[in-house]
Structure 1
Amino acid sequence: MRLILILALAAAAAAATLAGCTGKPSFDDPSLSSRELELEEFFDGELVAHGQFQDIFGTVRRQFVVEIEGDWDGERLVLQEDFTYEDGATERRVWTLTKTGEETWEGTAPGVVGVAIGEEQGDRFNWRYTIDLPIPSADGPTRTQRVTFDDWMWLQSDDRLFNRAYMQRYGVDIGDVSISFEKRR
């Protein structure tokens, strides 16, 4: 019995180690372009985004479209995001971002625990936060699940930005979200 317990603990430790070794972006990675992302310029105006959530096994669990209205007033960037999911569910999230330095940001939104922090570098932006995310339930009211996001965004052209957000719960990877943002002119 003791051997089984030891083997089970070793397997759990190995799984946790492998989950923690998932390759994720870093500002130490070489830049892939000479573009400079200015968050306040890119998100000022109307945008549309298409995205999906996939679990750690790569199975797509949910798809969505987001209509975004951004307003930069010289001090704050307010993003009104209207989500429409493939099942017809909708959600609105309103972010208020403040530039705290030449390349740094802080932000808040309903459901966000504390303050989100972000940093720009070249064509990239990293945005980190914890949020009580609404989770639909087929047999009852929507519940929330506290998750941590590590978003990485890359400016691909003047009007296109790609976002990959890594999600964790209790420090364990649970999946990621891929989103393509496009500015409307």
Structure 2
Amino acid sequence: MRVLALSAIAFLAACTGKPSLNDPALSDRELNLEEFFDGTLVAQGQFQDIFGTVRRRFDVTIKGDWNGKRLRLVEDFVYEDGSTEQRIWTLVKTGPETVSQTWRGTAPGVIGEATGIEDGDRFNWRYTIDLPVPAADGTADTVRVTFDDWMWQLSDDRLLNRAYMRRFGVDVGDVTISFEKLK
């Protein structure tokens, strides 16, 4: 009976709506990823499981560098339990300058390449990663998850990110992050 209930919950979670590039734009802003992430940003975020329980919170400082060809992002995470993590992304544009700009990127732990589409005020970024997850005994395991990141530019210095996470094709939760570009 418990397996049936969990299966029903997983099915319902998989049916929830998610953003699409076909959704109407809510602003006339044009996100320029390389411009927005060039410099120093701070962000706060949290991970919630599919039941809505907040499981982890974090602060992150991002140092971005656009050299005209590649965007390098050094992300330094500090979690509520005091643990830290660093992820370094390297992103490059992959398509011609059009309304919808395509990107690809790599980072340690990412399986293959991440791919993204920048369109109007939003950016969709998809990738699979072996994510470090702390164990109860203080060690860390890795869990392979797929991210479907959606970012919306709210103002010249603010960006909202909601990332949907899946494991074995099943929704496991989402991450919400608020970015602020420092002047």
TM-score by length of 2: 0.93
Q: What CA deviation, in whole Å up to 9, does each residue of 1:35-57 have, x standing for no partner?
A: 00010000000000100000001
Q: What CA deviation, in whole Å up to 9, does each residue of 1:51-104 have, x standing for no partner?
A: 000000111110000000000000000000000001100000000001101300
Distance in 1 (CA, whole Å) between partners of 2:77 and 2:6 is 37
* Greater C-alpha Rg: 1
Which residue is 1:144 aligned to? 142
Aligned pair 1:54/2:52, yes or no? no
Which residue is 2:155 aligned to? 157
Q: 3-state DSSP class of the match of 1:29?
A: coil
Counterpart among 169, 177, 180 of residue 179 in structure 1 = 177
Distance in 2 (CA, whole Å) between partners of 1:178 and 1:131 is 17
Structure 2: gaps (5+ residues)? none
Aligned-pair distance for 1:119?
0.2
Q: Contact 2:10–2:171 at 8 Å: present in 1 too? A: no
Distance in 1 (CA, whole Å) between partners of 2:172 and 2:17 is 14
Mapping of residues 75-86 of structure 1, within 5 Å: 75-86=69-80
> Which 4+ runs in 1 deviate beyond 6 A?
none
Identity across matched positions, percent:
72
Q: How many residues align?
A: 178
Aligned-pair distance for 1:12?
6.6
